[in-house]
Amino acid sequence: MDDLIALVWIERVKTASAFLVALGVAGEFLGGWIAGPIQKRVDDIRNSELALLQRETAEARLRQTQAELQLAELKKRQEPRGIVGNIILPILKNAPPGRAIMEYQEGGPEIYLFAVSLWHLTYAHKLPLWRCSELPLPQSFLISA
């Protein structure tokens, strides 16, 4: 009788195990069915946040590109300015002869440096048709009546 009782208990345990497996599978399906809409909401929120971050990134890259262009323009404006001799000299050599008096409006060091560099260009190259013997003269106003 001991073996018969053992077999009965083994069958009961197998039945209970099968019931628990069926209960686990049903719980798995039920959990998936309940979690589906929640997971969709979470995915939608994640996708909307991702789209927002991608838009903000694109806008930031656009602002960065604009800032880089502005910086390049500013750097170009801040480059040393002066007279390009290979452009001015042919023009001055072909101009009618005469005496030149260079004047500049005082008050700006950059204006003075420009006038002196132009004077130096004519003096250093000894343009035969142009006589600029004096340094540029400062003037309060260049427009006269």
- In this structure, are 9 and 37 located in the same domain? yes
Residue 136 structure tokens? 């540029």
Range of the domain at 91: 85-139
**Coil, strand or helix: which one is 103?**
strand
Angle, helix 85-93 to helix 109-124, in steps of 10 degrees: 60
Residue 45 structure tokens: 């929120």
Q: Which of 59, 79, 99 lies at the terminal end of a domain, its last residue?
A: 79
Running DSSP on this structure, what letter comes out for residue 46? H
Question: What's the domain count of the chain?
Answer: 2
Q: Are residues 46 and 113 in the same domain?
A: no
Per-residue pLDDT of 62-109, as tens digits, reads 999 999 999 999 988 877 666 666 777 777 777 777 777 777 777 777
Let me know if residue 8 belongs to a domain.
Answer: yes
Tens digit of pLDDT for each residue in 4-41? 888 888 899 999 999 899 888 888 888 888 888 888 99
Last residue of a domain, one of 79, 98, 128: 79
Bridge partners for 98 per DSSP: 130
Question: Which of 90, 117, 124 is CA-nearest to residue 102?
Answer: 117
Tokens read off for 22 = 């069926």
Whether 7 maps to a domain, the answer reads yes
Question: Does this model's pTM top 0.85?
Answer: no
Q: Are residues 64 and 23 in the same domain?
A: yes
